[in-house]
A and B are shown apart, each in its own frame.
Chain A
Amino acid sequence: MSDLLTKVREGLRPPAAAGSGAGSGRWLVPVVWLAIGLALLAFPFYLETFWLRTGLLAMAAAIGAIGLNMLSGSTGQLSLGHAFFLAMGAYGYCVLAGDPDGPATGLGLPPLLAVVLAVLLTGVAGGLFSPIAGRLRGAYLGIATLALIFIGQHVLFNAHDLTGGFNGRVVPRLEVFGFVFDAERIVVAGVPFQAMEKLWYVGLVLLLGCVLFARGVLRGRPGRAMNAIRDHQIAAGVMGVPVARYRGMVFVISSMYAGLAGVLLALVFERTVPTYFSIVLSLEYLAMIVIGGLGSVGGAVLGATFVSMTPLILTRYSEALPLVTAPGTGGGFAPGEVSRFLYGGAVVAAVLFLPGGLARLPAAWRARQRARRPAGEAGPDTQRNEEVPR
């Protein structure tokens, strides 16, 4: 109970803004955000295609990770089925927007409508699983969602008409109000824009929307209810939170996030293949949210960036790095292996030494600074995470 009360007390306090601790550095925060925003807008003008592609994959991963973090981090429900919903979004978009005369089934809907419908479809799939998602708790749900992965893989490999089987299917181009996101070069301010440059801005808009929506949910009444369920489901129920309904609802939201991430992934990959959406992908998403910080939107973005970009960057620079060899050459460590070591180890290290993940680094650092000063006021940052008997 006592931990719940601290949560409630923390909740009554106004949400700690990024720079609330140190008064002198307050102006720094908006400046940094502005700089990051401008840099993100300017990237397509300066970076080559590899980096844009990598960045776009990180954005897609970030959207998926935010959704998973609302489920696992904020509500305490483990899900290993995230890859299933990613696949659902990706393939859903392909089927809905696909060419009706192509080799695989396609409905030929306008791409924008197809995106919306694909996300809704993933939500419906999440809702169908809610009789289970609403009733099971924590890691129990994690194992139950394993079923989704295997069902997903089975369908992807066997429903040839819909998914194209082992070879996957080509992703139809995105088209918004007549503007086509294809490889045709258009020149903007002397820089040729191709598919990745154009998609970059789509990714930015989607990511921003997802971040804002998630923050709205988490900081409002639903967020408090979700945290209460995570910390003590019985107390939450007693206080009037419909536990099962909330769990089911968060599961639906999280699947819709995954669906949108899947659509963006498909657009970047330009071809969807079933082997990508295996259990390994689900594990990667869990690694992202733990490394970034459970329950934090910014943390999910950081973790997603780290986990999704590491293997790509390692592959690109494999020749320059010691111990890393190009994939398939044997000897040494392949880039994929190195990155799995890195993020697997980072998951363990984050939980043991930095509970709260990367998102907690600034707060942990500030707390340390404050502790050095004599008679420092003890804020929530210095609170110890003690074992409280239930």
Chain B
Amino acid sequence: MTTFLELLATGVSLGSVYALIALGFVIIYKSTEVVNFAHASLLLAGGYFAVLSREHIGFWPALLVGVAGAAALGMLLEFLVIRRYRGRDHSVLAIVTIGIDIVLITEFARRIGPKIFSYGDPWGSAMVSLGPISVPQTRIAAFVTAAALITLFLVAFRYTTWGVAMRAAAENRETAALMGVRLGWVSASAWGVAGALAAVAALFLSVFPTTGLDRDTGLIALKAFPAAIIGGLDSTTGALVGGLTVGVTQALATGYQSELSFLGNGIGELAPYLVMVLVLLIRPAGLFGTRELSRV
């Protein structure tokens, strides 16, 4: 039972980090209809900027640098590439983000090389005891931060002018533009927010019990894709539920690997994708995604 609770706690914490990434993914999809495969490179960029500046300015300012850097990179991509595309087919834009991702990941991986960077975070490898179970402090910090950021985002999405503009643009781009919503700003800010969230996620994916940021950290963003799909690509609530589902599934499958040994090694990595396939078989639009209804 203790093992189960510990795994559950790990899963929820991991899931909240995935939810951060998936949320950025969903925001970009809602505001620009682009499925952003370059998310992995935004995450790696945020992590790289942070660990690089940490040696000079310390942990907290470095984290800010990482967040700002990834946000700026996201906005830059939107401005330089996404905005220039004149066609109508958004799955072509998805392939463009793949092109961007190939270039950026190659460059960051080349710069990082075989090294593993440590964040030098204040939590270290300390553990916290919660009743019968003990959890690393970093996991608690990840959960609290992610929960706070997600709440902040959802509140902003609901009540601020920016959030209203965002939702209006997602609802109907032309009408929103006619009402005075600046579509360019909406989509640039969506990319910025997504980059910032990915940078925060990069931090919690590289601290204890992981050894640090290496060239493959970006690949973890691939797990946020099933999270976004399970919840439904156009639903912010879905991103949360999807993230938690993926996190808990992965933690449980990894934790009980010895019981699942007939499925082979590393089933924990695979489990989220199997869950995604199952969900898609039953609900093609994801759990919370809007079913597509069209009027001709």
Residues of A within 8 A of B (CB): 1, 3, 72, 76-78, 131-132, 135-136, 138-140, 142-144, 146-147, 150-151, 154-155, 157-159, 230, 234-235, 238, 279, 283, 286-287, 290, 294, 330, 333-334, 337, 340-341, 343-348, 351-352, 355, 385-389
Contacts and interface: CB of A to CB of B under 8 A. Distances in A.
B100 interface: yes
A177 B93 CA distance: 47
A200 B174 CA distance: 55
Nearest to A388: B88
Contacts of B103: 340-341, 344-345, 348
A363 to B, nearest CB: 16
A131 B284 CA distance: 10
A150 B100 contact: no
B222 interface: yes
B164 interface: no
B86 to A, nearest CB: 6
B95 A147 contact: no
B222 A333 contact: no
Interface in B8-37: 35, 37
B91 A143 contact: no
A140 B279 CA distance: 13
B222 A142 contact: no
Contacts of A158: 263-266
A385 B84 CA distance: 13
A207 to B, nearest CB: 24
A1 B113 CA distance: 50
A140 B110 CA distance: 30
B135 interface: no
B248 to A, nearest CB: 18
A355 B263 CA distance: 45
B225 A143 contact: yes
B35 A143 contact: yes
B210 to A, nearest CB: 20
Contact of B228 (A131, A143, A157): A143
Interface string B240-278: 000000000000000000000001111101100110110
B13 to A, nearest CB: 22
13 contacts: A78-B95, A135-B280, A143-B228, A147-B273, A158-B264, A286-B95, A286-B98, A290-B96, A343-B99, A344-B102, A347-B96, A351-B96, A355-B87
Interface residues of B, number: 49
Contact of B100 (A159, A238, A290, A348): A348
A236 to B, nearest CB: 11
A234 B95 contact: no
Nearest to A230: B89
Interface SS, A side = helix
B102 A347 contact: yes
Given A132-B277, A159-B264, A351-B95, A340 B87 contact: no
B199 interface: no
A164 to B, nearest CB: 14
A154 B96 contact: no
A328 to B, nearest CB: 11
Contacts of A337: 106, 110
Interface of B: 35, 37, 81, 84-96, 98-103, 106-107, 110, 113, 174, 222, 225-226, 228-229, 233, 263-267, 269-270, 273-274, 276-277, 280-281, 284, 294, 296
B264 A136 contact: no
A343 B102 contact: yes
Nearest to B100: A348
B17 to A, nearest CB: 19
A170 to B, nearest CB: 22
Contacts of B174: 389
A385 B87 contact: yes
A1 B296 CA distance: 9
B280 A78 contact: no
A247 to B, nearest CB: 12
Given A147-B274, A348-B81, A385-B88, 19 more contacts: A1-B296, A76-B89, A142-B37, A142-B94, A143-B229, A144-B276, A144-B280, A154-B264, A154-B270, A235-B296, A340-B106, A341-B106, A343-B99, A344-B99, A347-B96, A347-B102, A351-B93, A351-B96, A351-B99
A351 B92 contact: yes
A144 B277 contact: yes
Contacts of B99: 287, 290, 343-348, 351
Contacts of B226: 143, 146-147
Contacts of B94: 78, 138-139, 142
Nearest to A387: B88
B284 A136 contact: yes
Contacts of A352: 81, 84-85, 96
A140 B35 contact: yes
Contacts of A3: 88
- By Cβ-Cβ distance, the 7 closest A-B pairs, closest first, are A347-B99, A158-B264, A344-B102, A139-B35, A344-B103, A138-B91, A147-B273
B284 A283 contact: no
